[in-house]
């Protein structure tokens, strides 16, 4: 078995899972995402990687189907980053933030059996430290000095 599952999208808009040799739906792809399965969606006509567009379709269905994750203001702010000088920096920042959030969520569920107050206190402190480091990296990548890197004002 390959480490990455290949799903082919045909011109008739159908998705074919090559691992199980059958057509699947976007709901099936969502299940793969929820199960943390590694997969890639390719256009059957030219083998172009279209994974991102399929994932965006799933997000659109999720957004229109129930309680939204993204507010209109949040989506507008994200759109404003496209084409800007910090687009790549923002993408890495957002991805790192989501990774950090997922790690914290997992750790919290793993340690909830201990004293819950101590677990939350430790998590909060660690979160604050990690967020501060992440923000410093973001600022440095944007060319803004942080902390001791800032020039000191001269005495009058």
Question: What distance in Å separates the CA atoms of residue 57 and residue 145, rounded to the nearest whole number?
Answer: 39
So what's the pLDDT on residue 1? 47
User: What is the tens place of the pLDDT at every residue in 81-96?
Assistant: 898 888 888 888 889 8
pLDDT of 156 strictly over 50: no
pTM of the model: 0.68
**3-class DSSP state of 154:** coil
Question: What distance in Å separates the CA atoms of residue 26 and residue 36, rounded to the nearest whole number?
Answer: 15
Query: What's phi and psi for 31, nearest 5 deg?
Result: -60, -40
pLDDT of 113 strictly over 70: no
Q: Counting beta carbons within 10 angstroms of the beta carbon of residue 108, is it exposed (0 to 12), middle (13 to 18) or buried (19 or more)?
A: middle
pLDDT of 155 strictly over 90: no
**3-class DSSP state of 69:** coil
Question: What distance in Å separates the CA atoms of residue 97 and residue 49, rounded to the nearest whole number?
Answer: 25
């Amino acid at each position: 078995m390959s480490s990455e599952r290949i799903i082919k999208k045909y011109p008739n808009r159908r998705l074919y899972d090559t691992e199980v040799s059958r057509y699947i739906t976007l709901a099936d792809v969502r299940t793969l995402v929820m199960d943390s399965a590694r997969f890639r969606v390719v256009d059957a006509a030219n083998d172009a990687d279209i994974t991102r567009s399929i994932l965006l379709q799933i997000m659109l269905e999720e957004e229109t189907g129930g309680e939204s994750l993204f507010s209109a203001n949040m989506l507008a702010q994200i759109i404003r980053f496209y084409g800007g000088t910090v687009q790549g920096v923002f993408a890495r920042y957002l991805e790192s933030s989501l990774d950090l959030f997922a790690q914290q969520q997992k750790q919290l569920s793993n340690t909830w059996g201990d004293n819950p107050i101590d677990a939350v206190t430790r998590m909060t402190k660690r979160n604050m430290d990690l967020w501060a480091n992440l923000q410093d990296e973001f600022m440095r990548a944007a060319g803004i000095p942080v902390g001791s890197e800032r020039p000191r004002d001269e005495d009058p």
